[in-house]
């Protein structure tokens, strides 16, 4: 059993990577356009909702400690609806990969290459992500564990340097209620950070009281994101909408003030490692959903199908990252309503005790 499972600590580190996905580059600028500095509270609200989803995972894990999500869904909903949910999750993770790849490609194009390098990017990224998926969750989680503290150190250095250039508190409570909730709805696709855990629920090994370990690492990711949002809005104030790479931009402002040199290299290296892990997590999510729809096909087939669909959709449908952002804010929120809230709500009722007064395992 242990050879095919990961610890709660490793699952928590994967959660941190997922929490950081698509939230520390372009999102602060986009949210500022709709909610001004109150975007910080928009993100906080969406994080709180996501934590209820994490609580649902703990409930389900307590009720079904060793069962797969496929077994649980078929037991409660039947095979047809189980497969339908997995198909929806396949699309969810596919577009997560597309969004992450598009934003990071635009970032590296502007910061490093200053020119188109689409073919080089695909050749560099796809084989590495494929290897992470084929190698399996246990090997991938060990790699995350190996690099986790280096990535965390990179983010902490960025935050520490940004404190030097802090311009004071941003102006809060200047957004109308419709703008606040409208902005939240437009960006819910960038959340849903714990959906991945449900796909690997049978592979997460939860020893006594290790649920707190997983929650701790999820909290670290939330702290990083909220800190970056706060410092970004503090530094740039009313011009925040003009700056598209939050983690790098909070360093660049300090760079101009102190003439310390290319400090943005720290953010650049951190973002590159983060992006690799985030793309691998979402690609593995697609693969896991695919394998549960097509039981007779192994993970190698899922990787091949993913590569073909990813390249075709990216080239034909996305093209430029501006198009991907348009889809993310216009129609992908409706997909996120299903994956982030409706499916977890159904799972919540599945996780309730069978009998009144029944108790869950103490460990959870």
What's residue 274's pLDDT?
92
What's residue 262's pLDDT?
62
The DSSP secondary structure of 261-323, one letter per residue, reads: --THHHHHHHHHHHHHHHHHHHHHHHHHHHHHHSTTS-HHHHHHHHHHHHHHHIIIIISSHHH
Q: What average pLDDT score do residues 85-103 get?
A: 93
Give the C-alpha separation, 28 to 241, whole Å. Answer: 8
Among 99-103, 135-139, 277-281, which range has the highest average pLDDT?
Answer: 277-281
Q: Which residue has the higher pLDDT, 179 or 296?
A: 179
Q: Which helix (H) or strand (E) holds 204?
A: strand 204-205
What's residue 246's pLDDT?
85
- Residue 16: both structure tokens together: 């941190």
- Residue 246: both structure tokens together: 């939050």
Residue 85: pLDDT band by 50, 70, 90 thresholds?
A: very high
- By C-alpha distance, which of 69, 124, 31 is closest to 329? 31
What's residue 198's pLDDT?
94
pLDDT at 12 over 70: yes
What's residue 355's pLDDT?
63
- Residue 183: both structure tokens together: 């902005």
pLDDT at 2 over 70: no
Give the C-alpha separation, 314 to 303, whole Å. Answer: 16
What's residue 51's pLDDT?
93
- Provide the residue count of the chain: 364
pTM of this prediction?
0.90
* Contacts for 349 with CB less than 8 Å, ≥ 6 apart: none
The pLDDT mean for the chain works out to 86
What's residue 16's pLDDT?
93
Distance of CA 43 to the CA centre of its chain: 13
Q: What average pLDDT score do residues 71-88 get?
A: 93
- By C-alpha distance, which of 302, 360, 267 is closest to 86? 302
Give the C-alpha separation, 231 to 241, whole Å. Answer: 14
Which range is least confidently modeled, 87-91, 212-216, 307-311, 354-358?
A: 354-358
Q: What average pLDDT score do residues 286-293 get?
A: 93
Q: Please state the φ and ψ torsions of residue 270, each to the nearest 5 degrees.
A: -60, -45
Taking only the tens place, the pLDDT of each residue in 333-351 is 999 999 999 999 999 999 9
The 3-class secondary structure across 312-347, one letter per residue, is HHHHHHHCCHHHHHHHHHHCHHHHHHHHHHHHHHHH
Taking only the tens place, the pLDDT of each residue in 33-53 is 888 889 999 999 999 999 999
- By C-alpha distance, which of 17, 1, 8, 3 is closest to 136? 3
DSSP letter at 111 equals I
Domain 2-351: homologous superfamily in CATH = Amino acid/polyamine transporter I (1.20.1740.10)
Tell me if 340 sits within 8 A of 188, measured CB to CB.
Answer: yes
Q: What is the per-residue burial (b if ≥16 Cβ within 10 Å, else e) of 297-318? A: eebeebbebbbebbeeebeeeb
pLDDT at 363 over 60: no
pLDDT at 360 over 70: no
Alpha-carbon torsion angle 203, 205, 210, 211, nearest 10: 30
Give the C-alpha separation, 274 to 252, whole Å. Answer: 20
Taking only the tens place, the pLDDT of each residue in 263-284 is 778 888 898 899 999 999 999 9
Neighbouring-strand partners of residue 92: none
- By C-alpha distance, which of 97, 104, 294 is closest to 189? 97
Taking only the tens place, the pLDDT of each residue in 222-248 is 999 999 999 999 888 888 888 888 888
Listed by start position, the domains of the chain span 2-351
């Amino acid at each position: 059993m242990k050879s095919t499972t990961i610890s709660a600590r490793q699952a928590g580190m994967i959660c941190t990577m997922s929490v950081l996905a698509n939230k520390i580059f372009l999102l602060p600028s986009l949210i500022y356009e709709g909610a001004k500095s109150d975007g910080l509270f928009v993100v906080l609200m969406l994080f709180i909702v996501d934590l209820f989803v994490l609580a649902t995972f703990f409930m389900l894990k307590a009720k079904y400690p060793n069962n797969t999500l496929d077994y649980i869904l078929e037991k409660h909903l039947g095979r047809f609806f189980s497969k339908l949910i997995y198909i929806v999750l396949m699309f969810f993770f596919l577009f997560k990969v597309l969004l992450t790849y598009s934003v990071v490609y635009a970032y590296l194009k502007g910061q490093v290459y200053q020119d188109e390098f689409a073919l080089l990017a695909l050749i560099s990224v796809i084989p590495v992500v494929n290897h992470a998926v084929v190698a399996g969750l246990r090997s991938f989680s060990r790699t995350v564990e190996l690099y986790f503290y280096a990535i965390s150190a990179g983010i902490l250095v960025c935050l520490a340097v940004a404190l030097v250039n802090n311009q004071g508190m941003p102006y809060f409570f200047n957004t109308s209620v419709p703008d606040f909730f409208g902005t939240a709805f437009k960006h819910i696709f960038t959340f849903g950070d714990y959906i991945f855990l449900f796909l690997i629920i049978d592979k997460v090994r939860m020893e006594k009281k290790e649920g707190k370990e997983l929650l701790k690492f999820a909290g670290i990711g939330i702290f990083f994101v909220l800190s970056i949002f706060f410092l970004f809005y503090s530094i740039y104030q009313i011009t925040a909408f003009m700056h598209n790479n939050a983690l790098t931009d909070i360093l660049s402002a300090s760079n101009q003030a102190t003439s310390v040199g290319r400090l943005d290299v720290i953010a650049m290296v951190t973002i590159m490692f983060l992006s690799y892990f985030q793309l691998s997590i979402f690609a593995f999510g697609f693969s896991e959903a695919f394998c549960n729809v097509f039981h007779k096909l192994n993970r190698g087939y899922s990787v091949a199908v993913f590569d073909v669909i990813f390249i075709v959709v990216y080239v034909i449908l996305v093209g430029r990252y501006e198009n991907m952002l348009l889809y993310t804010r216009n129609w992908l929120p409706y997909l996120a309503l299903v994956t982030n809230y409706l499916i977890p709500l159904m799972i919540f009722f599945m996780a309730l005790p069978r009998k009144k007064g029944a108790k869950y395992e103490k460990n959870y």
